[in-house]
Amino acid sequence: MSLTELHPINVVNKAYSLVSDTLLDNTKSTYVAGICCFNKFCDEKGLDKEACMPASVIMLMALLTGLPVTSQATLSDLGS
């Protein structure tokens, strides 16, 4: 179910506008890179959009376990 099916379109548009107006360009590019990485992961696994979005905890964990070892080490450092 899409956001516009759950909420009035003006509420969705206001939320998107607020987020896009408050983020710095480098933060936006980092977020976009993460989304692109997740989309590529789903495409490589042959998964439909419905299976990937909204992203479940299981899908995100599957993505993280498939990252290169150096990235996993960096993620492990965050927990300590």
Name the amino acid, one letter, at 76.
S
| pLDDT value for 46 | 93
The predicted pLDDT at position 43 comes to 92
Q: How many other C-beta atoms can be found within 10 angstroms of the C-beta atom of residue 42?
A: 19
Does position 10 have pLDDT exceeding 70, yes or no? yes
- pLDDT tens-digit readout, 14-36: 888 877 777 777 777 777 888 88
Average pLDDT, the chain: 79
Q: How many whole angstroms separate alpha carbon 38 and alpha carbon 63?
A: 7
Among 2-6, 39-43, 65-69, the range with the most confident prediction by mean pLDDT is 39-43
Look at 29 and 43; give whichever has higher pLDDT: 43
Distance in angstroms (rounded) separating the CA atoms of residues 23 and 58: 28
> Structural domain boundaries of the chain?
10-77
Tell me which of 25 and 78 has the higher pLDDT: 25
